[in-house]
A and B are shown apart, each in its own frame.
Chain A
């Protein structure tokens, strides 16, 4: 993958610095970042792409960018500025859900499942199940490339920061995500197979230029939580909610893929997730998150922050797709009234 095309001033400055066209002016960068309206942070393609690009230095990197830049102090400074914007916005938008969970009674695991059950986000999976056209299903797959092609990679960084029972459970979960010893069962590779089956490009980053700011934000939140030890509770809360919102939607999406007549291999990734995530949600919610809070009660609020962040971003990204499809008039009838 090459360094992505900029979408505005911040991603232009990041790109210029990565390609060594100009040294990053951190003051100018900070001023620009501070000028971004708060309400736009999550869907601002420029902010999210700039941050995504900086995070990517820690994952696959870019063929046209020197690997030495991963720990460049100026770039880390720029990353910190954007992380601050993102974290502040996520905390601000999730404060009610987090407080609700903190005030509720009962075991942490039940409170996490309750947060997920109470979420009444857009019914993207239901729409894909019953109404989406083949082109819309394909568009959905393209948006998802940003995180499914690096599935569980951010969360794997948290493993070294856990201990005991929570660590064992995360290792078990990751072993399954990473194919259980079979490279062809790596979830990221299964998703790549789905893409090829749907006639799409499966190389990492192929659709980066066209995915929305919100989609990038979904991935950035995972990296933010996973790269900071301070936020390990949020990383695992996010992972738990991600797993706990997957089995049932995956079943619907697989059915939708078959309904529009895409090849079986496209559905295989989603079939796998019906069963896998029914296991993973139990491990992530009960064994990882509940144990972490039991051992370090100070992590409780951050675990709920992670859960609420996952639900919030999933809702925004799903709502955006449904909105786009409705605006393009390619569906009959109001999208939001699809029964689940």
Chain B
């Protein structure tokens, strides 16, 4: 998925954070790979892109552990 430039109201804007989650603005829910729907309860949500979050589909900050191992 690529970042979508912000456009007219109602457009969903996705923002990819290097080494971290994908921020989504204005979505009502995210469907996970098992087809389960997770309601978005805040104006901006962070979807886990590293696969390590214990709160899928949401980012829980665990990607930072990956980051610090990678950086030594």
Binding site for B on A (CB under 8 A): 110, 113-114, 117, 172, 175-176, 180, 246-248, 251, 274-279, 281-283, 286
Contacts and interface: CB of A to CB of B under 8 A. Distances in A.
Given A117-B68, A274-B55, A282-B23, 6 more contacts: A248-B60, A248-B64, A274-B61, A275-B45, A279-B46, A283-B23
B59 to A, nearest CB: 4
Contacts of A274: 55, 60-61
B44 to A, nearest CB: 5
B44 A176 contact: yes
25 contacts: A114-B71, A117-B71, A172-B25, A176-B42, A180-B41, A180-B42, A247-B59, A247-B60, A248-B60, A251-B61, A274-B55, A274-B61, A275-B42, A275-B60, A276-B42, A277-B61, A278-B21, A278-B46, A278-B60, A279-B23, A279-B42, A279-B46, A279-B59, A282-B46, A283-B23
B43 A172 contact: yes
A285 to B, nearest CB: 9
B61 A247 contact: yes
A20 B32 CA distance: 62
A176 B64 contact: no
Contacts of B42: 176, 180, 275-276, 279
A49 B54 CA distance: 40
Interface residues of B, number: 24
Contact of A175 (B43, B45, B68, B71): B43
A208 B20 CA distance: 38
A181 to B, nearest CB: 9
A110 B21 CA distance: 14
A278 B61 contact: yes
Given A117-B68, A172-B43, A180-B43, A282 B61 contact: no
Interface string B16-58: 0110110101000000000000000111111000000011001
Contacts of B60: 247-248, 251, 274-275, 278
Contact of B45 (A246, A248, A279): A279
Contacts of B43: 172, 175-176, 180
Nearest to A340: B65
A331 to B, nearest CB: 26
A12 to B, nearest CB: 44
Contacts of B58: 275, 278
Contacts of B68: 117
Contacts of B41: 180
A248 B17 contact: no
Nearest to A248: B61
Nearest to A173: B44
B46 to A, nearest CB: 4
Contacts of B67: 113, 117
A246 B42 CA distance: 17
